[in-house]
Amino acid sequence: MRKRSQVLAEPWSPELEKEIAQNPELLLALVDAAPVAMFCADEFGTILLANSKLETTFGYGRGELLRKAVGLLIPEAHQRITNPREPEAVPEPFSSPSQVTAFRKDGTRFRIQLRLAILATPQGNYGAGFLDPVEFRSAYASTATPTLDSRVLARGMAHALNNMLTPMLSCCQMLLRELPKNHRLYSLVEHADAIASSGADFTRQLQVLGGSLQGTNVVTNVHELLNLSRPGFARILGPRVNLVLRLDAENDLVSVARGSLAQAFENLVNNARDAMPAGGTLDIETHNFAWDESSLGALPGLKPGLYLRVAFADTGHGIPPDQVARIFEPFFTTRKGAHGLGLTVVQRIARDAGGEIFVYSGDGYGSAFHLYLPVLK
């Protein structure tokens, strides 16, 4: 196992090392002329070096990326640099290439191939990464390929499932009313009803994802909605989870489909419950947050302005680092029997309202989901 401080030592020839020592700007010129996008960031994720290829790929002008958070471009790179899994050593100079989501300056997202190394020095850890130009070409080409719109697909699936589940649920409910509880078929019908009800919940999530249940955006008082939903949250969480509401935002008026936002809140509460099977605490807090590009932290996808931040923080088992980047993917789940659409739906609802959702978690340290919604002046 090699020390991280050694990984840059091997490629240097004595001649090049001497040339760079005499002319330090040579190294910067070589990096800037590289045909692949490259960056270097400190242990806090702040970009210290960005070459020309990186700037043009992400739509930034010369020097604009310096001192910005790398999470503005590549959230997963920020996560891996600021929370390295092995602070002392790595088996290879660069990690295996991985497909990750990236954000251009104009807010558009695309997929890239990232290679990343975490380098240990006496001054602290640094992250060095480069992006494969072949993946840039394939990413750009894929955007022009005609594909079936995901919302159309979700609506079609929901319609088909609803047609099958509605008569099934009706038959189960009728049989449960007619059969005595000691009948030999009662438990089987009850089990079938539970499965069909779970399918109906999955269908509702698909309908929200497809926009068929979205409704019209209206002025919504978020504090009022949270207070009205509190009894329902308590029923979902059960007696072993303590629910705490801290509604401190001065401006809680947003333009959103009220029913969709209620569904997003319910999905986040369900997620918190599943993370705390032995009990714990769920804190729901609101704050106003003014965001601009000079603000601390990396919030890719948000436009400058005033937001309402609704935070759902649990004391559960947390999310392993290798799963954090995937939790908003459709159908991704680690829980047996789950459909993997809950957080995908929350993300879609947030973005439809002009906002975004971010997650902060550590394995064994609980999770915090921050939902940002633009407020009305």
pLDDT for position 71: 83
Band (pLDDT 50/70/90 cuts) for residue 263 is confident
The predicted-structure confidence for 140-179, as pLDDT tens digits, reads as follows: 333 333 344 555 555 566 556 666 667 777 888 888 888 8
* Higher local confidence (pLDDT), 333 or 75: 75
Q: How far is CA 61 from CA 41, 57, 58, 81, in A?
A: 18, 10, 9, 24
* Higher local confidence (pLDDT), 330 or 3: 330
Which span out of 18-32, 107-121, 204-218, 341-355 was modeled with the highest average pLDDT? 341-355
Decide if pLDDT at 330 tops 90: no
pLDDT for position 168: 77
Q: In angstroms, rounded to a whole number, what is the distance separating the alpha carbons of residues 154 and 210? A: 5
pLDDT for position 91: 35
pLDDT for position 107: 72
* Of the listed ranges 17-21, 99-103, 243-247, 341-345, the one predicted with least confidence: 17-21
Decide if pLDDT at 206 tops 70: no
* Of the listed ranges 92-96, 125-129, 220-224, the one predicted with least confidence: 92-96
Q: Which residue has the tokens 């099977």?
A: 277
What backbone phi and psi angles, to 5 degrees, belong to 62? -60, 125
Highest CATH level, class, for 218-374: alpha beta
pLDDT for position 273: 92
Beta strands 280-291 and 241-247, pairing class: parallel
- Helix axis angle, 258-275 to 186-210, nearest 10°: 130
| 2-143 and 218-374, same CATH topology | no
Decide if pLDDT at 238 tops 90: yes
Band (pLDDT 50/70/90 cuts) for residue 208 is low
On average, the pLDDT of the chain sits at 76
Decide if pLDDT at 136 tops 80: no
Highest CATH level, class, for 2-143: alpha beta
The one-character DSSP state at 376 is P
The one-character DSSP state at 196 is H
pLDDT for position 14: 65
Band (pLDDT 50/70/90 cuts) for residue 239 is very high
Decide if pLDDT at 4 tops 70: no
The predicted-structure confidence for 266-296, as pLDDT tens digits, reads as follows: 889 988 998 899 999 999 999 998 877 665 4
Q: In angstroms, rounded to a whole number, what is the distance separating the alpha carbons of residues 323 and 332? A: 9
- Contacts of residue 232, defined as CB under 8 A and 6 or more positions apart, other chains included, come to 266
pLDDT for position 87: 44
pLDDT for position 296: 45
Domain boundaries, the chain: 2-143, 150-210, 218-374
Decide if pLDDT at 191 tops 90: no
Mean pLDDT, residues 49-57 taken together:
85
Q: Is 5 helix (H, G, I), strand (E, B) or coil?
A: helix
Mean pLDDT, residues 46-66 taken together:
85
Q: What is the largest CA-CA distance in the chain?
A: 92
